[in-house]
Amino acid sequence: MNTKHSTPLEVRALLFDVLGTVVDWRSGIARQVSSFLERCGVVHVDAADFADTWSRLYDQATDAVRSGKRPFARLDVLNRENLEAAFKAVSIEPKLLPSADLDELNLAWHRLDPWPDSISGLTRLKSKFIIGPLSGGNTSLLLDMAKRAGLPWDVVLGSDVVEVYKPAPEAYLRTCEFLGLRPDQVLLVAAHNDDLAGARRCGMRTAFIPRPAEHGPSQTTDLAPLDDWDVIASDLVDLADKLGA
């Protein structure tokens, strides 16, 4: 793919991983968890560590769906279950906490801040391409996030539309089908090499954006591209430059 001055005409849409690539989930979750713990008088729990624990449980929950061990459930449902498991991991019995307060904290995933380059980069890319998320987030989560953060999506199709989680092939293929596009007409933008590998296996184009602070100062994964992705950019503004937007 020639990315210096132009993009092939067959690339009509850019789809984006959201959690980590477009928004800074760790800082946002840690901030909201910190406020929750302070209100509850809990002082022995580090909010950033709690955010990491809550996030790690995502993989286990979505693996259970992909493997058929449980039927599809929206990410809001999985996150709510995982929230209770995260509290148990820090020796706090969730049953002792008000259920309504836990429900509100679960919505922290709807209220995440974009990386500094996200809005300007997406706005430029929108001028040339159809843009939207390809995320594990359910549609209401992604819509709430977009409204709050100002993410200028053209279309929002959550995982509850395709009823499968990445990197299952159907997550990529069904989204392309909903858009009426062939996989090779769609480019996935992600900060995660495994996500891009899943998209490439389905015939999609790929673009890598590093987010070295996604997992905090000690991050060791996805610091660099691990394959010859079609486009490699330093951030979404640089991606817009490379795609001529």
Show which of 63, 79, 110 is a domain's final residue.
110
Show which of 64, 82, 110 is a domain's final residue.
110
Q: Model pTM?
A: 0.94
Nearest to 122 by CA among 200, 205, 11, 14: 14
Count the neighbouring beta carbons within 10 Å of the beta carbon of residue 180: 9
Question: Burial of 184 by CB count in 10 Å (0-12 exposed, 13-18 middle, 19+ buried)?
Answer: middle
Q: Residue 2: its pLDDT value, please?
A: 45
Q: Residue 165: its pLDDT value, please?
A: 97
Residue 45 CB-half CA count within 13 A: 25
Q: Is residue 3 part of a domain?
A: no
Domain that holds residue 75: 26-110
Q: Is residue 4 part of a domain?
A: no
Nearest to 152 by CA among 110, 125, 123: 123
CA angle 143–146–147, rounded 5-degree value: 85
Q: Is residue 220 part of a domain?
A: yes
CB 53 within 8 A of CB 86: yes
For the chain (245 residues), the mean pLDDT of every run of 10, in chain order, is 52 97 98 92 90 95 94 98 96 90 97 98 98 98 98 98 96 97 97 98 98 95 96 98 96
Please report, for residues 36, 152, 181, 187, 227, the alpha-carbon distance to residue 6 in angstroms, rounded to integers and kept in the order given: 48, 22, 20, 14, 22
CB 203 within 8 A of CB 183: yes
Residues 30 and 17 in one domain: no
Question: Burial of 14 by CB count in 10 Å (0-12 exposed, 13-18 middle, 19+ buried)?
Answer: buried
3-state secondary structure of 132: strand
Q: Is the dihedral of CA 123, 174, 29, 97 positive or negative?
A: positive
CB 205 within 8 A of CB 11: yes
Q: Is residue 89 part of a domain?
A: yes
Q: Is residue 211 part of a domain?
A: yes
Do you find a cis peptide bond into 167, omega within 30 degrees of 0? yes
Residue 31 CB-half CA count within 13 A: 11
Q: What is the CATH number of the domain that holds 204?
A: 3.40.50.1000
Q: Residue 29: its pLDDT value, please?
A: 98
Q: Is residue 2 part of a domain?
A: no
Give dist(CA 100, CA 112) in Å, integer: 20
Q: Residue 9: its pLDDT value, please?
A: 54
Residues 33 and 133 in one domain: no
Q: What is the DSSP letter of 76?
A: H
Residues 208 and 130 in one domain: yes
Q: Is residue 78 part of a domain?
A: yes
Residues 100 and 125 in one domain: no
- Please give the tally of structural domains in the chain: 2
Residues 67 and 131 in one domain: no
Q: What is the CATH number of the domain that holds 76?
A: 1.10.150.240
Q: Residue 43: its pLDDT value, please?
A: 77
Q: Is residue 5 part of a domain?
A: no
